[in-house]
Structure 1
Amino acid sequence: MKINVYVFYGGKSVEHDASLLSAFSVINSLDKNKYNVYPVYITRNGVWCEMGRLKSNLKDINQMQTHSSATVTNSIGEFIYKNFKKNEKCIAFPVLHGTNGEDGTIQGLFEILNIPYVGNGVLSSAVGIDKVMMKDIFSLGNIPQAKYTSIRLHAWKTDEAKVFEQIENYIGYPCFIKPAKLGSSVGINRCENRTQLREAIKEAFLYDNKIIIEEELIGKEMQIAVIGNDCPKASVVGEYIQERQFMDYAAKYIDGKLVPVIPARLSIETSEAMRETAIQAFKLLNCYGLVRVDYFVTDEDKFYVNEVNTLPGFTAYSMFPALWEKTDGTTYSELIEKLIKLGFCMHKQKNSFLNMRWEK
């Protein structure tokens, strides 16, 4: 019997379009002779839309979208009622970047339904997407990272002068302003003075009620891909040759001008230390399945963890699959297969603990 793979994409996140790009590649990589592939489009309003079983590869990204007059509640209820049948083996594959997909919320729904799913669980997803919580935990684990502080919207509205004082005295200029819970470089700005800082703070608060402010680190942006459950493995280090001062949304998903260099131009000692740190970060956040760990590396080969992505991009330009192909020859399709197997293994492990509790 074929395994039913439900690929969820789109969503209410500002990373909706990035999700479509990633899902397009994931869906087309799945072997239609081995899997029944069911694309599930989630509209920008949160409505779940069944696209039916896919019998051949998608030719155009426009095939992935549709419209529905159903309410969010009715669409989710109807989908659950029609799918995830007891006598069929199935797994959910969330390819949802950002809000309601990468933050642990949809993972919580799958947990309640007792449905196997690909990737990280509720805790690691929720902590991983919140840059402040993530960095707080990394501090406890002595993970090297940039100096940072955070501001809540209430504090900004209450006393702007105090916020400026906090940032300028502790971080200084230049600095980077980011929404706490977004990816794909959305809402990120570099500031060299108070005027720029004010505008950047206002923009970041459009996306979240908490923002993070970081010191600028001068160095190359590098990445490591980690896969596994209890025994995670780290890929070789990769880097991008880029034209921009930092990798914004356009650089990652639109221009196609980022040139990957794999393995990165590093000493063997630094590369191995970074790989060990990536696995340490994976374990500190209680991750399962996959994570991409992003670094800044100075000219002196001193490295700092910038952030982790618990659901990294899977587009044609994405570093995650490219890193594994260069590490051990794993192809894109083989990587997807591994992630599906890891999802089933994690689900089996969780259910074994549940069954033992019931037996007692």
Structure 2
Amino acid sequence: MKATHHKHILNFKRPSGTSRGILKQKETWFIYLESEGKQGIGECGILRSLSIDDVPEYEEKLRWTCENIELGEEALLQELIEFPSIQFGVEQAFRSLRSQSPYLLHPSAFTEGKEAIDINGLIWMGDETFMKSQIKEKLSAGFSCIKMKIGAIDFDTELKLLQSIRREYSVNDIELRVDANGAFTPENALEKLKRLSELDLHSIEQPIKQNQWQEMAKLCEVTPLPIALDEELIGIFHSEEKKKVLETIQPQYIILKPSLVGGYRGSNEWISLANNQQIDWWITSALESNIGLNAIAQWTYTLQSKLPQGLGTGSLYTNNFEAPLIIENGALHYNTKKSWEVPYIK
């Protein structure tokens, strides 16, 4: 078996704002496997300043992984426990190699084009005019669930934007989620949650920064608005510690980005623990290219979650790979008539 890795810079169509800054580009890497005339591909995607494996030796670890590919998937996953995005790339690549097609990782009614995955429309941070234009665009595109990133501009302005949606669309028409990315403080979070709760929101992601377990637990206990943990799950590698996080904080939801929590295996462990505590969950991509998004979407469909998922990121880039993934009427579809166009894969 031969393994190689290649870096790819994804360029955003327009700068996208989060509470951690403006994104113009995203680095990602691909692991390619070749064995007995077959090929496999997996994406290793990190988010700068967020991924636990955003470290100087990242590419060195990728090189080591390719040089030691003969160790096999199980051994590599154990060795890569502190590199969750490479774990996920390895999982994808081996599954891809074993599959009939490098891109058909989890055959289902989704990959047959018979069923779709409901997703949320993502509203990026920006000035009021920009955010209003995005909201209008998502609503006209048929989304019934919208997720708005908040925390970058004035809170009252963000509140007015949400109020303007609610004036036109009731909770029965549009589900609204917000993502604070840790922008609130323990001191002001509850007051802001109370004001947001008046708008019949579905939930808020990560209202305060991660690693403040006791403060987050207090919020989850008294919040008038359901709280979803996101960044809080990053960098927690072992089952006992995962269990401790959920038991301590007792959130209403958790959100799983496979590239940030150890791929399928890491995500499945979180899901199992959450189910045991009656904590609901959904899956979100982490701005991967269509290679990683495809791997996440196919797996997500098999989980049969009833909630809208966060998988609408494939159209963000000017130089993404051509893929059968398309968004129509607020859902992700697999168009079997479209083909893949990816370098190195024939």
Alignment TM-score, normalising by the size of structure 1:
0.29
Structure showing greater relative contact order (alpha-carbon pairs closer than 8 Å, 6 or more residues apart): 2
The structure number with the bigger radius of gyration is: 1
